[in-house]
Structures are given as structure tokens and as C-alpha cells.
Amino acid sequence: MTVYPLFGGAISLALEGNYLDASLMRQVPDNQEVLLSHDSDVSVILEVLQCVAPGTDKAAMEQGVRYHFDSLAHDNSAVASVLDAVDAPESGSAPVGTTPAPATAHGRQTVPKFGKHEDEQAVTIYVALWRLPAKNVDLVLSLNDPTGRVTAAPFRAAAASLRIHDWGLFPDAESA
């Protein structure tokens, strides 16, 4: 696995395979890091988003990761979306300064290829959610796999590897 420093090294993520920083080729929003596989159409996106709902218990984390999966389906203009599995820790909270455990989900979306509905493709989507309530942040990792070659195990390993090194990346909830 290769460790990728994200957001200037504030976060690190280990991934199987060889990925390229998309910002070297195109504009990427400030709240995202986008990595593109060198040898397939697989992409990995880490987003810093406003928390969609309070709570870090199992039910809240499951609801949150479902919300973000559905949000991706909307953003991808998916004509069909099926959530196959959701897994959440009993508590997604952690001591201050410690990276919490993520909730994960995966499923399939049927999306228009190159924006054309007459040419649709099935894409496997993996999502991980870290809820940072003190910062009012949902940190969302997604992996988009139109090849069908990525399995849940490497994604779970990548999600487990994510570490927050610099909490200054996130504004305090009171000042946000």
C-alpha cells in the first residue's frame, strides 16, 4: 500500500495501487482531494463537508453514510442506485485529537457515461464517513469503480488507514 498525504499532509490515506493527484491535471475544489488510478478508471475522493446531522452513535453513523451514498447518486445523475451493505461502529466518536472509526457502505449506481443517458454504465461505489462533531464536519471518502475489480476489503483497509494529523484543517464549530 502507498501512503498519500492529503490536504498538505493534514490527512494521510494508504491505498493499494498507483494513484495520481487530479489537481495536477484539473481544478479540484478546496474541500476535496481527488486521486485517479494510473491503470484504470477508478477514482478516490476525500471531501470535507458540513455535518449533515448530529450524532456519532451507530444509528446516526449508519444514517450519515447512507445520506452521503445517496448524495453521490444524486451528484452522479444515477438512474439507479442500490446500497448493498452498511457497517458502522457502535460509536463513531473518539478522544479529541484521535481519528475516529468510520462508518462504511458500498453499493452500485447506474450512471450516464460521459453524461449520455443512452450510454449508461454500472459503477461500484464505496463510501466511508468520519464524523467530527467538535468541528461540525463530515469527512467523506468515496471510491468510484466502473471496472468492478475493487473489492470491499481493500477499501475497508484504506478507510482504516486514514489518519488526521493536523486538526487545524477544520475550523472550530463555534467559528464555522
Half-sphere exposure of 70 (CA within 13 A, CB side): 8
When mean pLDDT is compared across 93-97, 128-132, 145-149, the lowest value belongs to: 93-97
In a domain, 36, yes or no: yes
Please, what is the average pLDDT of the chain? 91
The pTM assigned to this predicted structure is: 0.92
Alpha-carbon gap, residue 88 to 11, rounded angstroms:
21
In a domain, 129, yes or no: yes
In a domain, 173, yes or no: no
Alpha-carbon gap, residue 45 to 36, rounded angstroms:
9
In a domain, 159, yes or no: yes
Q: What is the mean pLDDT of residues 126-136?
A: 94
In a domain, 174, yes or no: no
In a domain, 172, yes or no: no
Question: What CATH number did the domain enclosing 79 receive?
Answer: 3.40.1000.10
Alpha-carbon gap, residue 129 to 141, rounded angstroms:
7
In a domain, 10, yes or no: yes
Query: Has residue 102 got a pLDDT over 50?
Result: yes
Domain range for 118 is 2-95+103-167
pLDDT at 116: 60
pLDDT band at residue 176 using 50, 70 and 90 as cut-offs: very low
In a domain, 175, yes or no: no
Domain count, the chain: 1
Q: Could you give the 3-state DSSP secondary structure of residue 89?
A: coil
